[in-house]
């Protein structure tokens, strides 16, 4: 966590602290935001992935 935020320019992925957890942003991979902390996690997909995912 001490190395955050992290930006991987080649893969266009960002990892940042958010609230009590960590968020990963990778829109070019279809992920608007993946958030997790010690109690929960959430996944938000980008618009072009809607209808192509399940669960």
Nearest to 27 by CA among 41, 8, 40: 8
Distance between CA atoms of residues 54 and 38, nearest Å: 24
Give the per-residue pLDDT at 55: 62
Nearest to 39 by CA among 27, 22, 15: 22
Angle at 45 between CA 40 and CA 46, to 5 degrees: 150
pLDDT at 9 over 90: no
With the CA atoms of 5, 31, 34 and 45 taken in that order, what torsion angle do they form, in degrees rounded to the nearest 10?
A: 140
- Using one digit for the tens of pLDDT, what is the confidence trace for 26-54? 998 899 999 999 999 999 999 988 887 77
């Amino acid at each position: 966590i001490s190395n955050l935020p992290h930006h991987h320019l080649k893969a266009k992925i960002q990892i940042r602290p958010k609230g009590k957890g960590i968020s990963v942003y990778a829109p070019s991979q279809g992920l608007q935001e993946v958030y997790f902390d010690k109690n929960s996690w959430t996944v938000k997909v980008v618009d072009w992935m809607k209808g192509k995912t399940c669960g």
